[in-house]
Structure 1
Amino acid sequence: MFVWTGYHSKLHQVLKDRQLLPKNSKILIALSGGQDSLCLTRLCSDLQPKWHWQIAIVHYDHGWVLDEGLANHVEKIAKNWDIEFYLEQAKEKIAETEAEARKYRYEAFVNVATHHKFDYLLTGHTLSDRAETFIYNLTRGAGMEGLTALNWIRQLNDHLTLVRPLLNFTRNDTLTFCQQLQLPIWQDKYNDNKKFARNRIRLDLIPYLKKELNPQIEQHLTQTAEILRGDVEFLTEEAEKLFNLAITEDKNNLKRSILKDKPLSLQRRVIKVFLAQKLEIMPNFEQIEAVVRLINAPNLDRTSSLSKGRFAQVKKDFITISDEK
């Protein structure tokens, strides 16, 4: 029997306010079996008559020992809820690391979504995940983009959009919802393994910060991420305009005179784009700073090697990338 809860109202309202998932959309939901994605799947299933979505579930089996039985568990949920189900399985051994698992998982999800012409891929990331990502990336020296990495929407390709509808739900919210409706949560043993940095943040650091500093630390970190996201969007647009003014017609040089009187934040962003194009790698902070210094440097001044023997050098009013001879 369908029971309408405050959580249904909460998701329904955020979908309307943010216009995340239009009516009649074709939606693929990534269901891991854990409380967050289980909560998302059930809420979307219950809201489907109001929004007229076409819904399906996708699950990725990493082939890990501690996940034995998980794929069957998720398939049973899909069958009981009468939702179309797609199972993707690892075709090779995947290292038990967050980065590796995420890479293969998302590749599989995108392939399924693209092949079956879904408009949206949904994941169960929550406000709690956003706060943990903020801290994780902060400790790695990330810039504003890294601190705002977990967003409501991300375009995956020309036809597929990733949506995270639960970014205003805490992990406690999803647990409470699942308990209220007696949903079959899969207890992922990997979530308790503290060899993963994110698990240490979730299990140790966040509880400590809540107890010793601020009980609302998750909410406040996500508010900061939301504020920074607006700043990132503005700065990205301004940097793109400045880059187009500074880059020469042949795309090989930057005009220093265009950049000299501009704010440091925009200079860094323009240099980052330039280096990414010329070096074909994402430059790090030290590389960007080295080239920024060339904006006001004497003629023929240069950086040390940036990548594969390539360096940046001042040639009169231009910054150019050259090869070591």
Structure 2
Amino acid sequence: MTKLNSGTIENLINNFIYRYNINNILLAISGGQDSIYLIKILEKLKKKLHYKHLQLSYIYIDHQWKNNSKKQIKHIINYTKLINAKIIIYQIHKITLSEDECRKYRYNIILQHAIKYQFKLIITGHNSTDKVETCMQNLVKGSGIESLNNLAMKSKIFQKIFILRPLLKLDRTTVYWCCKKLYLPIWSDSTNYFYKIQRNRIRQELMPYIKQYLHKNIENNIQFLINSYHYQNEYIKQNVIKLYLKSKHNERTAINYKKINKQNFILQIKTIQLFCFHNLQIYLETQKIIKVIKKLNNRSINASTIVSHSNFNFFIHNNWLYISIKT
């Protein structure tokens, strides 16, 4: 069990508030043990440190997956009333079991709400077990190294809006026992047992199987792997930025592909992706980038336009790779 307590979490949040001069916090809750535990910590922190100008507000997104969704909402409202807290509830009327789609809806609603009401900090209840499960999901999807550690403790998501995940050092079992110790009203979420949701398959079947028959410390090993990949990814990012700055045109939307195609293959891919994102705010998929690189490495190439996309073309002139917007 992780050797951390509520005091450690309080200090982490308190230091963040002080460092970035936070005066309002939006906590995204699910009604589960993680968010209920965070509500307890935040309310305690506010009273303990006498933050006169600190505003706490809670937001809940109802996906309407369950027949008892209304009962869960009543449970959450009753609990927030008990502690005199404010809560905003949004309902998604398009019912779907696609976790990726629901996550996009959820994050978009939360971000738009934070922008509209000028919240500087969003806090979520992700724990270390969530981080491991997300890593496993991305491995199954064949995601790149940068996606294996996409749950950071803190990050800036929009201008002056930050997101903080203070429970990432705690696993799910630790959070559960903290809730039991504090007699918190945990709501049992039946959607955790919907096996049509991939994460639930990983949580309820895959991870227990690995622990039982392959390696009992699989979660610790994945955590170590995630940390290792984080530093590897940071190293790649730094070299990509350096290569991009050295190869980009000073005046035009172009990069010197002769400088790029001498580099490691992954640096070529990431540099052209950065080139596209920096100029078009488009994240081009790896397979499309590989197609461009193959064309660039073809010495017999003589056509100006080498790859065409829906809204733009890649074309070459001398040693330069250009982007041309379609009109």
Interval containing the TM-score (normalised by the shorter chain): 0.7 to 0.9
Q: Give me the whole-angstrom Cα distance separating, in 2, the residues matched to 1:271 and 1:6.
A: 43
Which letter maps to 1:143?
G
SS at match of 1:186: coil
Instruction: List runs of 5+ in structure 2 lacking aligned partners.
Output: none
Which letter maps to 2:29?
L
Q: 1:322 to 1:85 in 2, by over 3 A?
A: closer
Q: Give me the whole-angstrom Cα distance separating, in 1, the residues matched to 2:46 and 2:104.
A: 30
For residue 234 of structure 1, report the CA deviation from its aligned partner: 3.4
SS at match of 2:87: strand
Residue by residue, what CA displacement relative to the aligned partner does 1:227-277 show, whole Å, maximum 9, x if unpaired?
Answer: 322332332233123212212245433212322433333222102223446
Candidates 31, 34, 56, aligned match of 2:32: 34
1:57 aligns with 2:55: no
Q: 1:278 to 1:44 in 2, by over 3 A?
A: closer
CA contact (8 A) 1:8 1:47 kept: no
Q: Give me the whole-angstrom Cα distance separating, in 2, the residues matched to 1:163 and 1:14.
A: 10
1:174 corresponds in structure 2 to 175
Q: Give me the whole-angstrom Cα distance separating, in 2, the residues matched to 1:301 and 1:312.
A: 13
SS at match of 1:232: helix
Residue by residue, what CA displacement relative to the aligned partner does 1:81-133 show, whole Å, maximum 9, x if unpaired?
Answer: 2222222233x433232123222222222233223322111110010010011
CA contact (8 A) 1:300 1:314 kept: no
Q: Give me the whole-angstrom Cα distance separating, in 2, the residues matched to 1:118 and 1:99.
A: 25
Which is further off, 294-303 or 55-64? 294-303
CA contact (8 A) 1:148 1:228 kept: yes
2:80 corresponds in structure 1 to 78
1:145 corresponds in structure 2 to 146
Q: Give me the whole-angstrom Cα distance separating, in 2, the residues matched to 1:63 and 1:299.
A: 57
Q: Give me the whole-angstrom Cα distance separating, in 1, the residues matched to 2:76 and 2:323.
A: 52
SS at match of 2:5: helix
CA contact (8 A) 1:310 1:321 kept: yes
Q: Give me the whole-angstrom Cα distance separating, in 2, the residues matched to 1:6 and 1:315.
A: 59
Q: Give me the whole-angstrom Cα distance separating, in 2, the residues matched to 1:162 and 1:195.
A: 29
1:191 aligns with 2:192: yes
- 1:264-303 alignment to 2 at 5 Å? 264-276=265-277, 281-300=282-301
Q: Give me the whole-angstrom Cα distance separating, in 1, the residues matched to 2:325 and 2:56.
A: 53
Which letter maps to 2:64?
G
User: Structure 1 residue runs of 4+, over 6 Å off?
Assistant: none
Which is further off, 192-201 or 102-111? 102-111
Which is further off, 125-134 or 255-264? 255-264
Which letter maps to 1:27?
I
CA contact (8 A) 1:294 1:301 kept: no
Residue by residue, what CA displacement relative to the aligned partner does 1:142-186 show, whole Å, maximum 9, x if unpaired?
Answer: 111111111112222112111111111111111111122221111
TM-score norm. by structure 2 comes to 0.85
Identity across matched positions, percent: 26
Which is further off, 153-162 or 40-49? 40-49
TM-score norm. by structure 1 comes to 0.85
2:235 corresponds in structure 1 to 234
Q: How many residue pairs align between the two structures?
A: 317
